[in-house]
Amino acid sequence: MSWEQQLTERIGVVGIRDLVAAFYRHIRTDDLLGPMYPQDDWEGAETRLADFLCFRITGEQTYLETRGHPRLKMRHFPFQIGIAERDRWLDLMGKAMTECGIDGESRAALEAFFGPVADFMRNQPER
Ligand code: HEM
């Protein structure tokens, strides 16, 4: 069984949405990342990430229907993302996983997915 199928069984769309909600509770007040997000559309931002993860992991089509092809790197071009931003994103996601009780193989699978994607989003020459 693929990691996506295992996560779908163990966490499912409800677990993914809970995880993203916990993640955004941290993002909103984060000194480094918080200001990057649309301050008048927190709900929308949360929905976009949750829909994307539900699509990527469970195959649910909502993200594709509402946003089209993910093209994540391109969608992150407007934001300055270096090592510090990447590490903070992963750190806050780690806190959210802990709060949601996501551990063991599920957590390892998510970390193995998030790590390289977050690194790929970097678009700043390192100073
Ligand atoms: C590396 C650090 C990262 C930073 C600083 C960052 C920051 C942002 C910001 C500021 C937005 C705009 C919020 C919105 O209006 O939707 C965004 C959107 C988004 N991010 Fe990230 N992000 C990072 C990593 C990631 C990773 C690792 C993923 C996927 C696993 C991801 C997936 C998304 C998605 C799906 C959207 C919405 C795209 C859309 O449909 O418009 N991001 N991100």
Q: Which class would CATH give 3-120?
A: mainly alpha
Phi, then psi, of 18 in degrees rounded to 5: -65, -40
Does the beta carbon of 85 sit less than 6 angstroms from any atom of ligand 1?
A: yes
What SS3 state is found at 40? Answer: coil
Ligand 1: distance of its center to the CA of 79 in Å?
9
Q: What is the pLDDT of residues 59-108, one digit of tens each?
A: 999 999 999 999 999 999 999 999 999 999 999 999 999 999 999 999 99
Whole-angstrom distance, CA of residue 29 vs CA of residue 35? 9
Q: What is the pLDDT of residues 90-100, one digit of tens each?
A: 999 999 999 99
Ligand 1: distance of its center to the CA of 76 in Å?
6
pLDDT, averaged across the chain: 97
For ligand 1, mutation pick of 72, 113, 114, 120 (most atoms within 8 Å of CB): 72
The whole model's pTM is what?
Answer: 0.97
* Tally of CB atoms within 10 A around 85: 20
